[in-house]
Amino acid sequence: MKKGKLYGVGVGPGDKELITLKALRVLRESDVIMVPVMRSGEKTAFGIVEEYIDGKEIVECRMPMTKDLKVLNENYEAICNKVSGYLDQGKNAAFITLGDPTVYSSYMQVNELMMKRGYETEIIPGITSFCAAAARLNMSLCERDETLTILPSSYKNVREGLHTQGTKVLMKANRAIIEVRDILREEGMIDQAVMVECCGMENEKIYKDLNELDDRTSYFSIIIVKD
């Protein structure tokens, strides 16, 4: 029996109208939809595509939010075992992920492991959260010879990264958002920063002044700092 194929499908940042035609086609043609689930039970990516995949077999995949590599690797192997079971039956599986699979997506670990196991995989790109946030703010990310730097702001060296030339995009702040706000103040950059929380979702919130931040925000928060 011919083995099935695994697709990593980017479903965009949150707005249901920002999913691509190709992503929709792949989802509708796939036999199984693999859905990432956070520890809290949140299934954000599924909420974007739910109305488009009626009748499909849905398989939940737990995705722990941790930096513990041992825990992460064990979880990725467990997910791959689950996916392999369907591909070995000749079924095609689509693993959905927010934004684009190649930008800070846990899916890429699954993709790499499945390739090592000898399975065929394909990545379906999606609109990134930072592009959607810039559009929502009606601003450019970079023009002419300007550079664009993407920083994982909950990790070390964010302060150093802020001093690169051009536009800086800070992603993955989550619990560290107040610390990031304070760093921006200390570096004299807070007046150059804007933020979109949950871009394109029902609970979207725009911050034109980051001094308004006084509490932890959603994981889906994008800060843009312009020179």
* CB neighbour class for 33 (10 Å; exposed up to 12, middle 13-18, buried from 19): buried
Residue 111, pLDDT above cutoff 90: yes
Is residue 89 over pLDDT 90?
yes
Q: How far apart are CA 11 and CA 2, in angstroms?
A: 27
Predicted confidence (pLDDT) per residue in 135-149, tens digit: 999 999 999 999 999
Q: How far is Cα 33 from Cα 192, in angstroms, rounded to an integer?
A: 41
d(CA 125, CA 91): 21
Highest mean pLDDT: which range of 30-44, 112-126, 194-208: 112-126
Q: Answer whether 0.75 is exceeded by the pTM.
A: yes
Token pair recorded at residue 162: 């802020």
Of all residues in the chain, what percent carry a pLDDT higher than 90? 65
Assess whether pLDDT exceeds 90 at residue 35. Answer: yes
b/e map of 68-102 (b: 16 or more CB within 10 Å)? eeeebeebbeebbebbbebbeeebbbbbbbbbbbb
Averaged pLDDT score across all residues of the chain: 91
Inter-residue contact 23 to 11 (CB < 8 Å): yes
Q: What is the pLDDT of residue 202?
A: 87
When pLDDT is averaged across residues 17-44 and rounded to a whole number, the result is: 91
Q: Which top CATH class is 129-225?
A: alpha beta
Q: Which of 14-23, 72-81, 210-219 has the highest mean pLDDT?
A: 14-23
Tens-place pLDDT, residues 62-76: 887 777 788 888 889
Q: Residue ranges of the domains in the chain?
A: 5-124, 129-225
Query: What is the architecture, at CATH level 2, of domain 5-124?
Result: 3-Layer(aba) Sandwich (3.40)
